[in-house]
């Protein structure tokens, strides 16, 4: 019986929109690969205020820490053995494990990449989240991208701000700062 090839699967999530930004599948994930994935995301979406990660060797390497500093991103390392410091990442990882990894038997890494990317898109574009007022992460992000109504006054003006890229005040069912989570 042939053994299934092993792979590492780090995930990148946005703590504010709950979007699964990237799930990388490879035999081994080293810091140059993490930098490559994060560089692509920063070029597509802009740099987050901070990057939360565990203390895995790929996340505390000099190369990655130098890259993070050069991008002007703050770090928020998770203390060993304290997954509650990474609630968004752990929640995403649990759903990913239960709804994708536990249900599939991948014959190759190429197949795993296709199936996992399909699940990530479903998670972002189809699956509503109670923490986002029952919007999908993609719909919530699209709502944030809309310009403020010209007639915004009172609370609406405070929520949208004059030209803030993110709301100045979170809607009632929300309450996180903008940051990215990287976890393995």
The DSSP string of 12-49 is EEETTT--EEEE--BS---HHHHHHHHHHHHHHH---S
3-state secondary structure of 183: strand
What pLDDT shows up at residue 6? 62
Angle formed by the axes of helices 109-125 and 137-145, nearest 10°: 60
The residue behind tokens 């919530």 is 140
9 versus 156: the higher-pLDDT residue is: 9
The residue behind tokens 């944030």 is 144
Quickly state the pLDDT bin for 178 (edges 50, 70, 90): low
Give dist(CA 62, CA 67) in Å, integer: 8
H/E stretch holding 154: helix 154-160
Q: Which CATH class is domain 11-183?
A: alpha beta
The DSSP string of 51-99 is EEE---TTTS-HHHHHHHHHHT-EEEEPPTT-GGGGHHHHHHHHHHHHH
From the list 84, 102, 88, 73, the residue with the least C-alpha distance to 176 is 88
Averaged over 92-105, what is the pLDDT? 91
20 versus 175: the higher-pLDDT residue is: 20
* Residue 1 confidence (pLDDT) above 60: no
User: Domain spans of the chain?
Assistant: 11-183
In this structure, how many other beta carbons lie within 10 angstroms of the beta carbon of residue 133?
14
Averaged over 51-68, what is the pLDDT? 85
What is the per-residue pLDDT across 34-48, written as a single tens digit (0 to 9) for each? 899 999 999 999 999
Strands 11-14 and 180-183: antiparallel
pTM of the model: 0.75
What pLDDT shows up at residue 86? 84
């Amino acid at each position: 019986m042939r053994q299934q090839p092993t792979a590492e699967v780090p995930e990148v999530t946005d703590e504010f929109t709950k979007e699964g930004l990237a799930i990388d599948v490879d035999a081994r994930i080293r810091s140059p690969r993490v930098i490559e994935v994060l560089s692509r995301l920063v070029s597509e979406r802009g740099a987050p205020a901070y990057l939360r990660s565990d203390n895995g060797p790929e996340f505390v390497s000099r190369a990655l820490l130098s890259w993070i500093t050069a991008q002007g991103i703050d770090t928020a390392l998770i203390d060993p053995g304290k997954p509650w410091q990474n609630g968004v990442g752990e929640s995403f990882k649990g759903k990913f494990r239960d709804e994708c990894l536990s249900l599939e038997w991948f014959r190759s890494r190429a197949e795993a990449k296709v199936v996992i990317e399909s699940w990530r898109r479903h998670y972002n574009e189809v699956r509503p989240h109670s923490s986002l007022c029952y919007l999908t992460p993609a719909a919530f992000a699209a709502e944030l991208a809309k310009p403020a109504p010209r007639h915004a006054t009172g609370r609406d003006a405070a929520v949208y701000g004059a030209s803030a890229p993110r709301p100045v005040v979170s809607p009632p069912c929300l309450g996180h700062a903008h940051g990215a989570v990287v976890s393995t």
